[in-house]
Amino acid sequence: MQKFLLIDPDQCTGCRDCELVCPLEHDDVINPYRSRITIISEEWKGMDFPIVCQQCEEPVCQKVCPVNAISEDTDTGAKVIHQNKCIQCRVCMMNCPLGGVGVDPVTADAIKCDLCGGNPQCVEVCETNTLRFVEATKANLEKKRKSLTKYLEWLERTETREV
């Protein structure tokens, strides 16, 4: 059974450990600007919201890529950007409705969560269980739907899709 990242934004404290471990895992550097997960804070409301690729069943990023640089990892189900094919056009980033694709400020490559090959390090360091890597059961999929609904409502309130 496939697994996915389940996010419970109500548990997020904004510690940003996930933003630190991600580039350490992928790039051997501690630099949150190179992270594939971003914490958006509404400090006046005391709300922190993790933004990360949701590994969509029908990923817009993959459909709009002009060079087919995004494919699905058959083992994990993660949509992976192949940097050797990517032409850095940013079409994937501009078209992701959830803000799940970013740009590495050092390499200018498009970057997104690849589930760390099936062992997401952000989950390993998340002490509040905001991030969990769970089986795709009906109950967990319903929790994901509710989390995404909350995120989309937040996006609508802020009147922006740039995260």
pLDDT, position 54? 94
Q: Please check whether residue 76 is in contact with residue 115, taking contact to mean a CB–CB distance below 8 angstroms.
A: yes
- CATH label, 3-158, candidates 3.40.50.300, 3.30.70.20, 3.20.20.70, 3.30.70.1170: 3.30.70.20
Cα-atom radius of gyration of the chain, to the nearest Å? Answer: 15
**Closest residue by Cα to residue 60 from 28, 100, 92:** 92
10-residue averages of pLDDT along the chain (163 residues): 91 96 98 96 81 95 98 96 97 95 96 98 98 96 91 72 46
Query: Is pTM beyond 0.85 here?
Result: yes
- Map out the domains of the chain as residue ranges: 3-158
pLDDT, position 108? 95
pLDDT, position 161? 45
DSSP readout, 49-109? EEE-----SS-HHHHH-TT--EEE-TTT--EEE-TTT-----HHHHH-TT--EEE-TTT--
Q: Cα 26 from chain centroid?
A: 14
